[in-house]
Amino acid sequence: MAKNRGPRIIVALILFVLVFLPLLTNGVGMLVDWLWFNQEGYRVIYLTILKAQIDLSGIAGIGFLAIVGANLFFAHTLSQRQGFRVYGEFIEFQPLEKFGVLFRWLIWGGVLFAGYIVSEWGMGHWLIYLRARQVPWMGVADPLFGRDLGFFLFQLPYTWFLYHLALIIVVCCLLSATFLYLVEGGVWITPRGPVIARAARAHLMALGGILFLLIAYRIRLAMYDLLYSPRGMVFGAGYTDIHATWPVLRILLVLSVVTAGLFFWRAGGGDYRTPLFGIGALLVVGVLGGSIYPEIIQQVIVKPNEIDKERPYIASSIEFTRKAYALDRFEERSFSAMEDLTQDDIRQNDATFRNVRLWDHNPLLTTFAQLQEIRTYYDFVHIDNDRYWINGVYRQVSLSPRELNPESLPVRNWINENLTYTHGYGLCLGPVNESTSEGLPVFFIKDIPPVSSVSLKVTRPEIYYGELGGDYCFVKTHTPEFDYPRGDQDVYTDYSGTGGIPVNGFWRRLLFSLAFGEKNILFSSEILPESRLMIYRRVLDRAHRLTPFVYYDHDPYMVISDSGALYWMLDGYTLSTRYPYSEPAPDGENYIRNSVKATIDAYTGEVKFYISDPEDPFIQTYARLFPGVFHPLDEMPKDLRAHIRYPEDFFSIQASMYAVFHMTDPRVFFNKEDLWRVAQSAAGGPGSTMAPYYTIMKLAEVGKREEFILMSAFTPARKDNMIAWLAARCDDPNYGKVLVFTFPKQKLIYGPQQIESRIDQDPTISQQLTLWGTGGSKVIRGTLLVTPVLNSVLYVEPLYLAAQSGGALPQLQRVIVAYSDHVVMESSLDAALTKIFGGNITTAPVQLIAPPGTSPVSKPAAAEPDFQALVHEANQHYERALQLQREGDWAGYGDEIKKLGEVLNKLAAMQH
């Protein structure tokens, strides 16, 4: 019985080392993750990935050990026939004679260790393994081999993995067998060179033949890689690749098979140097045909006739790049760029102007921090732009959550960081285009607890999951949780949600203690059985941990639901580097889709995933691999779906690609006759690319009402005039549609840099900026915003004034507006528009309160226009009077006050 158990124990030990040990190197973390995935309702993801890792660990590890082990047993059997031949002219290896058993154990131990490494390496390829099991039919074939693109995106990467695994196994077989023959006999080293026994030579020559068969297979796979060739002017196979490199690869394939045949032939006896001729031929053809011959073809045949030779391949690159980045979905329209705007046009498009973003993110974030952080341990991380119905008016707003920063706590200890200070609180929200008389932002929602001056309310302000969350925290403990400060005293709370993993009892506490390396988790009396452990509290980490096959946008943003709860919205991408003929982006990927929208409850941490691009083959595959994880976008709650937006990262990549690949004619593309670039602006530094920005506007000849869009501008590659602008629509039912508005090429339309130069050259503006820049103050120039209105274009640039010393509080001081030949700088946008177009233009909306019993997000009927206009006019006179008072113009101040009184009298008359 003992003899029978021995082999079983060895087999079990080998299985443990090769299959389970790579998984269990982080066994404690795996158990915690299992509890977490199970608690979050995504057990299917955990189990599917784990099963794939076990499969690959077994395929790679056990396959490696089985083949290399069998090879060693075979070598051991052959070596025993030879014995040691150490006499005469042969060099004696005394250490090998004395320590033969030790060396044999070292060989087997080395093989076992290599098997462990290979097993762990194979386990890391679980994603391509899963993809290869669910290859979708995409219905588009590559132009060279005629294979469906699903093969290249899903199956080919796994084929390369199998090739590399086979190569590792064969090379290890060759090395381990050679070393065994050195130790046990079969290979000897003499002064005249190595001597190999007949049986050992046959074995090693057979392994050499297998190696060259693998090299032949690698050459066959390399033919597919021609579709990713960077040699020509476009990415993908060009004339030289197809007419020079491809034939050379075929020759190399044949030579590799012939060389393998020579190895097998000489394995039976004869001159073992014969295969060297095959190896030499491979090297010669590889060097000459791999670099010299293609270069000759490129210089002699292609270069003198490049456009004719490369035309079909340029066409393929254009077609496939546009498909890979979804540029083929863009709708192109003409934009006449007239200069005939009137006062009435401005008033009719007041929705556009009341949503012009006058508060840039950086100065606004500084102002938020100065005015609303309240305590040192609160931080505003980012400013985000979104849209809401505010008192019945569709408004663009800036908002930022007030998050808890554990590193800024006054006293840092384990209880404070993990039991007491567990969450941030509330947010700041205000309009993008309004400021107080002091030049500070207007707040719709502010303070702690959140105070709202509009119909939008926050009822669940606690933020347990955010961008700054600590590693972990415990809730429902004996220790009261700090909720928010109130005067000299603090308000405490107890968590009432379902977020986190239940602690239950001793064993879980022990597990958590080991996982985080913290003994207090095990011994603290503050933690109760009903306590809950919150982990992965940073929203990007949380989403990526649940779906490691999705890549998330760097900028999650917060949304207020109709119920007043706070949610994070994340944009997820599917990427690939294996799309044939597609030009790679700077990060290396050459295929991208925004296929996933994720929502995370800031209070409970609940994560939901929705499919935003059902045509994407990757998300189709993931939906089949992980059933129940991804939901149709229609299933997202309507109050959250109203806030989905086209992601900036995706838009920026598409814009940079469209600047080149809007040219669909191969000849025009070759000559770069119409090459564009994303417009540049001095706001981000000299020569910096303009960042895309969100706004609300009515799209010319397309939109029937104002809508939330993401936009960017283009200029010719070597000029600064504007040639086109790009708009991605964010509101239903047009979400995801991208429009390109092109200007007439025979007409000069000023670009952002040209407008900034005109601003700098204006003597009045330049003098005022110089004056403000002295005396300890600095002028901050905001982003120049391109603002299309009807078929015309205006430019708006805010100016901020801040002290140069620490604690500076940026104030919105002036607004510059450029239109046609006009460049004006005034105290407000309304004043600047009035100066250009005349009349008395006002764009600020009247705040309408929804009647009792109606939803605050519904749009009530508009107020009477005359009443609105008078309110706007009164506000303008008031702001102008304050500005004149600050400038010391008392005569002008008196005139404005007089006009304000007249307007107020008219308003009073309307009330009776």
pLDDT in tens, 21-72: 555 557 788 899 999 999 999 999 999 999 999 999 888 988 898 899 888 8
518-535: average pLDDT? 94
Q: Cβ(763)–Cβ(689) under 8 Å?
A: no
Q: Cβ(594)–Cβ(648) under 8 Å?
A: no
Strand 693-697 with 707-716, pairing: antiparallel
Task: Please give the angle made by the CA atoms of 415, 458 and 856, to the nearest 5 degrees.
Answer: 170
How far is the C-alpha of 693 from the C-alpha of 688, rounded, in Å?
A: 15
**Cα–Cα distances in Å, from 649 out to 654, 710, 787?**
9, 11, 21
Is the confidence at residue 144, as pLDDT, over 60? yes
Q: Cβ(505)–Cβ(499) under 8 Å?
A: no
Is the confidence at residue 707, as pLDDT, over 90? yes
pLDDT score of 165: 95
Q: How many helices (H) and strands (E) does the chain have?
A: 32, 34
Give pLDDT tens digits for 228-273.
999 888 999 999 999 999 999 999 999 999 999 999 988 877 677 7
Give pLDDT tens digits for 833-861.
999 988 788 776 654 433 333 333 333 33
Give pLDDT tens digits for 268-327.
776 777 888 999 999 999 999 888 999 999 999 999 999 999 999 999 999 999 999 999
Strand 693-697 with 777-781, pairing: unpaired
Query: 447: phi > 0 → left, psi -120 to 50 → alpha, else beta; which?
Result: left
Q: Which amino acid, one-letter code, is at 504?
A: N
> What's the mean pLDDT when you consider all of the chain?
87
How far is the C-alpha of 717 from the C-alpha of 676, rounded, in Å?
A: 5
> Regarding predicted confidence, which is higher, 185 or 538?
538
How far is the C-alpha of 138 from the C-alpha of 151, rounded, in Å?
A: 9
Provide the 8-state DSSP code for 673.
Answer: T
184-196: average pLDDT? 72
pLDDT score of 863: 35
Is the confidence at residue 374, as pLDDT, over 90? no
pLDDT band at residue 95 using 50, 70 and 90 as cut-offs = very low
Query: Nearest-CA neighbor of 710 among 731, 693, 698?
Result: 693
| Cα atoms found within 13 Å of the Cα of residue 658, Cβ hemisphere only | 30
Q: Cβ(720)–Cβ(701) under 8 Å?
A: no
pLDDT score of 103: 65
pLDDT band at residue 394 using 50, 70 and 90 as cut-offs = very high
| Percentage of the chain lying above the pLDDT 70 cut | 87
How far is the C-alpha of 70 from the C-alpha of 170, rounded, in Å?
A: 12
pLDDT score of 858: 34
748: helix, strand or coil: coil
Angle between helices 306-324 and 648-661 (to 10 degrees): 160
pLDDT score of 5: 54
Give pLDDT tens digits for 583-624.
999 999 999 999 999 999 999 999 999 999 999 999 999 999
**Beta partners for 814?**
799
Which residues have a Cβ under 8 Å from the Cβ of 279 and sit 6 or more positions away? 259
Is the confidence at residue 13, as pLDDT, over 60? no
pTM of this structure: 0.86
Q: Cβ(628)–Cβ(44) under 8 Å?
A: yes
How far is the C-alpha of 818 from the C-alpha of 756, rounded, in Å?
A: 10
Provide the 8-state DSSP code for 720.
Answer: -
pLDDT score of 844: 67
Is the confidence at residue 351, as pLDDT, over 90? no
pLDDT score of 838: 83
How far is the C-alpha of 393 from the C-alpha of 442, rounded, in Å?
A: 16
Is the confidence at residue 806, as pLDDT, over 80? no
How far is the C-alpha of 784 from the C-alpha of 681, rounded, in Å?
A: 7
Return the minimum-mean-pLDDT range out of 17-26, 64-73, 723-732, 773-782.
17-26
Is the confidence at residue 569, as pLDDT, over 90? yes
Q: Cβ(825)–Cβ(816) under 8 Å?
A: yes
Is the confidence at residue 524, as pLDDT, over 70? yes
How far is the C-alpha of 458 from the C-alpha of 445, rounded, in Å?
A: 8
| Percentage of the chain lying above the pLDDT 90 cut | 62
> Regarding predicted confidence, which is higher, 563 or 871?
563
Alpha-carbon torsion 672, 678, 683, 684, what sign?
negative
774-800: average pLDDT? 89
